[in-house]
């Protein structure tokens, strides 16, 4: 008998999870993919509030004077189409909690399936006639770095719970199309078999990527990739597709003009020939002569005998090989922009008028744009603010019906909780990243390490900084510790719509407050929220807290008109971005020089609410940069307003880097 202790078997992680019951027992005939970090629990609905950041009533600036009251005719529907900024996992959980379970009829998604730093987001901006690489916000970079940081495991960690939520959102007659490539398609297929059931797999559609004209024949690691896959699943057997059509490339078909049997008057001479004995020509002489003129009756090129053209149908039913269209389009300079023709095939085949179509990886907004044109309702979401900007402009350009732009009110807080970081730890981490020493006696406050006369405050993650709150903080800093602080730096995730005006109004004639500097907390900090042992000295130089952009609008000018309306004009006088997020800092002087000549080159989009109610911004006039041209946006907005009331005119500006600024102006027409 051996005295050695029995050896513990070296289980593979997957074997161990099966051995000890972490996985459910395999169902019969069900493929199941297992990986080390596979989520064990299906995500549940979350009672999160959507905040409406903007109601968009498309009214694109054309140079013509518009009447604000004409736009009021385009009232928003009781169930408006929705463009939502935020993590789609949270968005879908919130939709479920709000009663959307089983309500969506078609989902198309194009999740990020690249495996490197080349994400599905554009990170280049055009200013004037030159292109620059910008720093990608970390909320975007983090999400997709995390998606691939452990290879396919990380990607499936991201996708699996989202597919579970999508299945719950689909109606019983609904379906999903998932666009992918060879990097992950085989793994995704097994995951979708598990989530939706193998019996509900309908097709793998093959669609051409881009036609490449590669002539040089050299030794390469692999063949060029010529196609993508679209995995098509239904929720149940209730879904019936209306097969799309394609052009039939058959050659022309000409047939003999002879017909069997003898018919009086149908044996005339034609092209020097008569019907053979016992036959007749198919048509009367008059009809034949007309067909010759139309080109559908001719002599056979070889025999000279008459033959006619049969105009067969030029369309046939499509199969799952879509080689006659390409998947990608580049009309909006978005790296993964899909072609409208392809989305039209999918939406027309698998949905009907008024059905709800959803895309939870919005990108350039192709799904929403095509759904809008085809009379479907739509919901689309993205984590990238650039995607939201591109989609908003695209929908305005096509004069879409009014829609809303929303976000999750406590989005940042949810991200922080998802990272298992408590609020007190979050404040401490952000202060250290900024280069401030956290104060134990004042939560959210710290002292700048290289300037002891400066106090630093970190705003709560689920609410914008208001002018009144900033004044209170400036007063608190002035009196703190008996000696006060010369300056307070406020670090906020976001600022309320009219922050600049509100703060300036409240600050007037106040002497016992500290000087204030306002910064935006960059998304980069989310990367560090999992690390509680952050050393501020070693990390503070890695993060840039951007200065809040400065916007100055001129006072509204009036031109009296006959009747009960007044022509109003408002002009953007200055827009300044003090911290330009560039990858190559050496390019900064060049951009600053360009902007000193024309600051409008920096503006991507600006919009006006001519009668702001103080709660929801109602975009009723829009000007946007043409992404194909280098021309800046116009800096003047015109409108006709009725006399007899006081107006608050709200202006919102978004620049090419994704920064935004806003201001309001008062106009009394009583």
What residue segments make up the domains of the chain, in order of their start? 19-59+80-172+318-409, 254-309, 421-547, 551-668
CB contact at 8 A, 279 and 259: yes
3-state secondary structure (DSSP) of residue 475: helix
Q: What's residue 648's pLDDT?
A: 93
Q: What's residue 8's pLDDT?
A: 40
Q: What's residue 260's pLDDT?
A: 87
* Out of 204-213, 378-387, 617-626, least confident range: 204-213
> Could you give the angle at the alpha carbon of 70 between the alpha carbons of 69 and 74, nearest 5°?
105
3-state secondary structure (DSSP) of residue 28: coil
3-state secondary structure (DSSP) of residue 530: coil
Confidence of residue 340 (pLDDT cuts 50, 70, 90): very high
What is the Cα–Cα distance from 305 to 301, expressed in whole angstroms? 8
What is the Cα–Cα distance from 657 to 59, expressed in whole angstroms? 24
Percentage of the chain modeled with pLDDT above 90: 40
CB contact at 8 A, 529 and 432: no
Q: What's residue 6's pLDDT?
A: 40
For residues 338-352, give the mean pLDDT: 94
Average pLDDT value over all residues in the chain: 81
Length of the chain: 670
Beta bridge partners of 3: none
> Token pair of 311, please?
């105009």
Q: Which residue has the higher pLDDT, 250 or 502?
A: 502
Q: Which residue has the higher pLDDT, 26 or 628?
A: 628
**Sign of the CA dihedral with 557 first, then 561, 563, and 567 last:** negative
Angle between helices 385-397 and 366-373 (to 10 degrees): 20
3-state secondary structure (DSSP) of residue 529: coil
Question: Which regions of 339-478 does DSSP assign to beta strands (E)?
Answer: 356-359, 377-382, 403-408, 436-438, 445-448, 454-458
CATH assignment of 19-59+80-172+318-409, given 3.30.720, 3.40.50, 3.90.1200, 2.60.200?
A: 3.40.50
Segment of 140-154, 310-324, 354-368, 652-666 carrying the highest mean pLDDT: 354-368
Note the pLDDT tens digit of each residue in 572-631. 998 887 666 666 666 667 777 777 777 888 888 899 999 998 878 899 999 988 766 767
Confidence of residue 23 (pLDDT cuts 50, 70, 90): very low
Residue 115 CB neighbour total at 10 angstroms: 14
Beta bridge partners of 326: 208
For residues 52-78, give the mean pLDDT: 69
Q: What's residue 527's pLDDT?
A: 57
Note the pLDDT tens digit of each residue in 628-641. 676 788 999 999 89
The H or E element spanning position 668 is strand 660-668
Q: What's residue 583's pLDDT?
A: 61
Q: Which residues contact 140 (CB under 8 A, 6 or more apart)?
A: 119, 121, 383, 384, 386, 523
Q: Which residue has the higher pLDDT, 421 or 635?
A: 635
DSSP string covering 53-109, please? EEEE---B--SS-EEHHHHTTSPPPSS-EEEEES-HHHHHHHHHHTT-TT-EEEEEE
Q: What's residue 582's pLDDT?
A: 63
Is the predicted pLDDT of residue 410 greater than 80, yes or no?
no
How does 499-520 read in b/e, with b if 16+ C-beta sit within 10 Å? Answer: bbbbbeebeeeeeebbebebbb
Confidence of residue 75 (pLDDT cuts 50, 70, 90): low
pTM for this structure? 0.76
Segment of 59-68, 470-479, 567-576 carrying the highest mean pLDDT: 470-479
> Token pair of 91, please?
């968005």
Confidence of residue 9 (pLDDT cuts 50, 70, 90): very low
What is the Cα–Cα distance from 287 to 289, expressed in whole angstroms? 5
Q: What's residue 151's pLDDT?
A: 75
Is the predicted pLDDT of residue 13 greater than 50, yes or no?
no
Q: Which residue has the higher pLDDT, 20 or 293?
A: 293
Q: What's residue 217's pLDDT?
A: 66
CATH assignment of 551-668? Answer: 2.60.40
CB contact at 8 A, 306 and 300: yes
Q: What's residue 536's pLDDT?
A: 45
């Amino acid at each position: 008998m051996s005295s050695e202790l029995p050896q513990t078997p070296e289980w593979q992680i997957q074997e161990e999870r099966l051995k000890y019951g972490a996985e459910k027992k395999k169902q019969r005939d069900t493929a199941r993919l297992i990986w080390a970090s596979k989520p064990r629990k299906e995500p549940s609905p979350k009672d999160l509030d959507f905040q409406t950041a903007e109601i968009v009533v498309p009214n694109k600036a054309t140079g013509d004077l518009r009447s604000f009251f004409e736009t009021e005719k385009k009232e928003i529907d009781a169930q408006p189409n929705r463009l939502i900024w935020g993590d789609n996992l949270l968005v879908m959980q919130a939709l479920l909690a709000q009663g959307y379970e089983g309500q969506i009829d078609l989902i198309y998604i194009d999740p990020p399936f690249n495996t490197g730093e080349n994400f599905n987001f554009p990170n280049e901006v055009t200013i004037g006639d030159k292109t620059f690489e910008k720093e990608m916000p970390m909320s975007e970079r983090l999400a997709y770095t995390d998606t691939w940081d452990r290879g396919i495991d990380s990607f499936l960690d991201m996708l699996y719970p989202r597919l579970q939520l999508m299945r719950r959102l689909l109606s019983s007659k609904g379906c999903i199309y998932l666009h992918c490539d060879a990097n992950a398609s085989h793994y995704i297929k097994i995951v979708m078999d598990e989530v939706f059931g193998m019996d509900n797999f309908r097709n793998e559609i093959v669609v051409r990527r881009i036609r490449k004209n590669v002539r040089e024949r050299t030794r390469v690691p692999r063949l060029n990739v010529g196609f993508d896959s679209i995995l098509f699943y239904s929720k149940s057997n209730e879904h019936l597709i209306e097969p799309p059509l394609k052009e039939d490339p058959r050659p022309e078909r000409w047939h003999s003009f002879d017909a069997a049997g003898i018919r009086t008057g149908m044996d005339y001479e034609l092209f020097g020939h008569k019907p053979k004995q016992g036959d007749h020509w198919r048509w009367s002489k008059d009809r034949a002569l007309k067909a010759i003129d139309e080109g559908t009756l001719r002599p056979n090129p070889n025999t000279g005998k008459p033959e006619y053209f049969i105009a067969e149908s030029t369309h046939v039913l499509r199969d799952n090989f879509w080689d006659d269209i390409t998947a990608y389009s580049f009309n909006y300079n978005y790296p993964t922009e899909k072609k409208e023709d392809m989305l039209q095939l999918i939406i027309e085949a698998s949905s009907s008028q008024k059905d709800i179509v959803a895309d939870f990886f919005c990108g350039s907004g192709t799904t929403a744009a095509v759904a809008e044109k085809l009379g479907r309702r739509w919901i689309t979401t993205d984590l990238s603010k650039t995607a939201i900007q591109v989609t908003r402009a695209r929908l305005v350009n096509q004069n879409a019906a009014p829609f809303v732009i929303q976000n999750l009110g406590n989005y940042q807080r949810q991200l922080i909780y998802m990272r298992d970081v408590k609020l007190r730890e979050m404040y401490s981490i952000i202060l250290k990243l900024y280069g401030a020493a956290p104060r134990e006696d004042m939560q959210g406050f710290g002292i700048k390490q290289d300037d002891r006369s400066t106090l630093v405050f970190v705003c709560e993650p689920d609410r914008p900084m208001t002018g009144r709150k900033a004044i209170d903080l400036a007063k608190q800093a002035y009196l703190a510790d008996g000696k006060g602080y010369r300056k307070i730096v406020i670090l906020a995730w976001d600022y309320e719509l009219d922050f600049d005006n509100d703060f300036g109004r409240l600050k007037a004639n106040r002497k016992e407050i500290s000087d204030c500097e306002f910064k935006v907390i960059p998304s980069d900090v989310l990367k560090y929220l999992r690390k509680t042992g952050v050393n501020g000295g070693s990390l503070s130089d890695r993060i840039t807290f951007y200065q809040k952009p400065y916007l100055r609008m001129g006072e509204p000018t009036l031109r009296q008109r006959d009747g009960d309306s007044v022509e109003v004009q408002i002009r953007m006088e200055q827009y300044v971005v003090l911290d330009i997020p560039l990858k190559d800092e050496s390019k900064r002087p060049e951009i600053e020089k360009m902007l000193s000549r024309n600051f409008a080159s920096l503006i991507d989009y600006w919009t006006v609410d001519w009668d702001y109610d103080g709660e929801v911004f109602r975009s009723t006039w829009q000007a946007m940069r043409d992404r194909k041209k280098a021309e800046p946006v116009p800096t003047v907005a015109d409108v006709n307003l009725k006399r007899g009331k006081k107006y608050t005119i709200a202006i919102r500006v978004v620049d090419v880097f994704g920064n935004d600024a806003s201001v309001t102006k008062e106009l009394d027409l009583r």
